Amino acid sequence: MNPALRKEYLRALGITPWVLRAGKTSETAAAALPRVEESQARAVGASVVPSAPPRAPQAPPLEENLSWEQLRSRVAACTRCALSKTRTQTVFGVGDPNADWLVVGEAPGAEEDRRGEPFVGRAGQLLDSMLRAIGLARGQVYIANVLKCRPPGNRDPAPAECTECLPYLERQIALLKPKIMLAVGRIAAQNLLKTDSPLSKLRQQEYRFGAARVPLVVTYHPAYLLRTPTDKRKAWEDLKFAREVCARVDR
Ligand code: SF4
């Protein structure tokens, strides 16, 4: 990416671009980031991080081979959990169905519930800036949530709701075949990794999700970063780490 453009995006993220000290190359700076070797990557899906407590049992799988449109219709008509009674509409997901990157958030908020699209409003704008900082336009990725319906009052999703809804995301992943998943925020990360570990312990590591063992990296939710801008630099480190992981994937 053009260095001047990257600086501009980093400023949008509220991050002062790093200036390399004399004698250091960008490669050596990148090498200073925490890395996880392939052998350390933890398998996730049926079982995950060793310290993870047991979660609710898996919901029945969907019928196999649902197309994007069939899946979208299935979600739009879904009544598998009580959130169907309070939603304005389902929020299926948006983006390039051939994208390498799948960004997964927690659940729709009020604005998303109203517009039917994930990550809109100020948090969505910051997510767009975060993606642009690593050279990706919003339209080049696919964006979805663990839950397709808004929990009332923006409360945290209940484990049972996530269990019921997860098969939809799993089918989206099967259709998309992403090179990498970026879990944004504690709720998304904990539900995908089936762990109660805090986000600070989950970031900067490479996990594998599901039967296809899709590489998964965790970072902060943009709504959290709006409240805690001092952590934007850590998010930037996570994005660079995710980009490194993605670059190693042969699809
Ligand atoms: S949250 Fe998911 S499982 Fe619950 S009603 Fe909405 S689409 Fe169905």
Which has more confidence, 54 or 81? 81
Residue 154, pLDDT above cutoff 90: no
Cα(197) to ligand 1 centroid in Å equals 25
Which has more confidence, 62 or 77? 77
- Are 142 and 95 in contact by the 8 Å Cβ rule? The answer is yes
Of 202, 71, 201, 84, which is closest to residue 144 (Cα–Cα)? 71
What pLDDT, on a 0 to 100 scale, did the predictor assign at position 189?
98
pLDDT tens string 95-150:
999 999 999 999 999 999 999 999 999 999 999 999 999 999 999 999 999 999 99
Res. 57 pLDDT band, cuts 50 70 90: low
Cα(151) to ligand 1 centroid in Å equals 10
* Cα gap 172→102, rounded to integer Å: 10
Sheet holding 207-209, edge to edge: 42-43, 207-209, 214-219, 180-184, 101-105, 142-145, 94-95
What pLDDT, on a 0 to 100 scale, did the predictor assign at position 48?
43
In short, whether 163's Cβ falls inside 6 Å of ligand 1 is no
What pLDDT, on a 0 to 100 scale, did the predictor assign at position 59?
66
In short, whether 89's Cβ falls inside 6 Å of ligand 1 is no
3-state secondary structure of 3: helix
Chain centre to alpha carbon of residue 223: 13
Mutate to test the pocket of ligand 1, among 148, 150, 156 (most ligand atoms within 8 A of CB): 148
Mean pLDDT of 44-55: 40
- Are 155 and 73 in contact by the 8 Å Cβ rule? The answer is no
62, with CB counted inside 10 A (0-12, 13-18, 19+), is middle
DSSP codes, 79-109: -SSGGGGT-SS----EE-TT-SEEEEES---
Mean pLDDT of 167-178: 97
Using the 8-state DSSP alphabet, how is residue 39 labeled? G
pLDDT tens string 212-221:
999 999 999 9
Which has more confidence, 2 or 157? 157
Residue 55, pLDDT above cutoff 50: no
Torsion of CA 183, 91, 113, 135, to 10 degrees: 50
In short, whether 78's Cβ falls inside 6 Å of ligand 1 is yes
In short, whether 144's Cβ falls inside 6 Å of ligand 1 is no
